[in-house]
Amino acid sequence: MLDVRIPGAGRNQQPDVAWRPINRPQAPLPNALVPLFPRQPNGDPYPSLVMEVGDTQSIPELLGIRDRMLSWRTAINVFVLVSYNRNATRASDSWYVQISIRDYLAPQPPPGIGANYPACIVEYETPKVGTRYPKVNNNLAQGTDVYYLNTTDLYHPETPPILNPPLPATFRIDLEAIRAIIISTRRP
């Protein structure tokens, strides 16, 4: 895991999982904007993708972490949020997944703007069943069980490297596999 600290109000946040390309691509020429992007307090670049899993944190608390991580003060592009709501029985347990990206095309913030600028772009949310989040025991409907994230979102502000064989155009996030892991690791 990468050593990542996201500064902000309150304690520094260390995400559950963070990923970035080992060698940022520099083809054909280095992107002149890269040195202008924020870096962590220790000088390391921010990761491209952060995943936060909560089973004791509320969804509003996790959304606050998301907003802080996808703000103009970082260079994190993708935030994957997984929330597990454990109840008295597994049959009543619910869960929630959200995949958001930083609005990296938003203009620079005006002076004095808070840390939560710009608003993130929600790419995917687990569909509700009526007014409630889905039960962990129930499979997701076909068409909502996998999400394909654009590979360019993982590399912005640079273009993905040209490899042989080439990188796929999308990065597959298997939401049904996440649900199965929650079920298989839930203690009675």
Q: What is the pLDDT of residues 162-172, one digit of tens each?
A: 888 888 999 99
Domain boundaries, the chain: 17-185
118: preceding bond cis by omega (within 30 degrees):
yes
How far are the Cα atoms of 8, 117, 155 from residue 114, in angstroms, in the given order? 10, 6, 26
pLDDT for 24: 52
Residue 1 pLDDT level (bands cut at 50, 70, 90): very low
pLDDT confidence of 90, banded at 50, 70, 90?
Answer: confident
Statement: the pTM of the whole predicted model exceeds 0.75: yes
Of the candidates 84, 78, 88, the one whose C-alpha atom is nearest the C-alpha of residue 59 is 84
CB–CB of 139/156 below 8 Å?
no
